[in-house]
Amino acid sequence: MNEDKKNESKKSGRLLISVLTPIFILIICLGITIVAVIKPYNKISTYLNLAFMDSLKTIPDTNGITAGLNIKENEIKVEYDKEFSETGKVIRPSFGEQFAIISSDKFELDVPVYWGSNSELFERGACQSSSSMLIGEIGNAVISAHVNTFFSELEKLESGDKVEVATNYGIFTYEVTETVEFKKSNKKYIIPKDEEVLTLYTCKPDVLGASDLRIGAVCKVVDKKFYINSEDGQKGEQ
């Protein structure tokens, strides 16, 4: 009888070990995985809250008015007859502020650009992710708009075309280096970069409804003209 109890106890111990060992190994693997991905995630997570994700920073109140959104319209000059400098200081706009205008020979209309993105701002113009780099800074400036409105002509851009971005602190000229098409889940073109680039994108037109594909243009800076006096570049209106 005692021998039977000992054998039963040994079997129970072996069963417990066989059950706990995979769980222990799984916990270790999960820990290693979390440590391995936490740094890359921190690097790109700020870029994941981009255009077409309308929950950014503003929440409608009970009356349907967007709480906390103070839209500021600025009259951006696209022509400037005073002195420029090749170097200067960018002016960080407030969330909801128009700070730039995009133009190109391929566009019939100049496109206003707002800092930040939500549904109300997309109704007014293009939006630059507030997590991307400002125009004039080293890095990736990511700007998007709806394909049926302000970026309806974005697909006309071709390699070699010029895109001009007039801001309230200077005028910057870019050249299209490549046109791209990618899935919504593909973050390749909107993550941080070490060089100064401008990334423009929108939804790919689809007669059947919302598309999971994006089309866009990646541009390199070819000319930078900072205003000597940045106040000359804009006239603000509340």
Q: What are the pLDDT digits (tens) for 152-207?
A: 999 999 999 999 999 999 999 999 999 999 998 999 999 999 999 999 999 998 76
CATH fold of 59-237 reads: Sortase; Chain: A; (2.40.260)
> How many of the other CB atoms lie within 10 Å of CB of 218?
19
pLDDT digits (tens, 9 = 90+) for 116-162: 999 999 999 999 998 899 999 999 999 999 999 999 999 999 999 99
- The rounded distance, in Å, linking the Cα atoms of 211 and 177 is 25
Confidence bin at 236 (pLDDT 50/70/90): very low
- The phi, psi pair for 121, rounded to 5°, reads -70, -35
Task: Write down the domain spans for the chain.
Answer: 59-237
Phi/psi for 167 (5° steps) reads -110, 180
Q: Which of 120, 140, 138, 135 is nearest to 187 (CA)?
A: 140
Both tokens of residue 205?
Answer: 């037109």
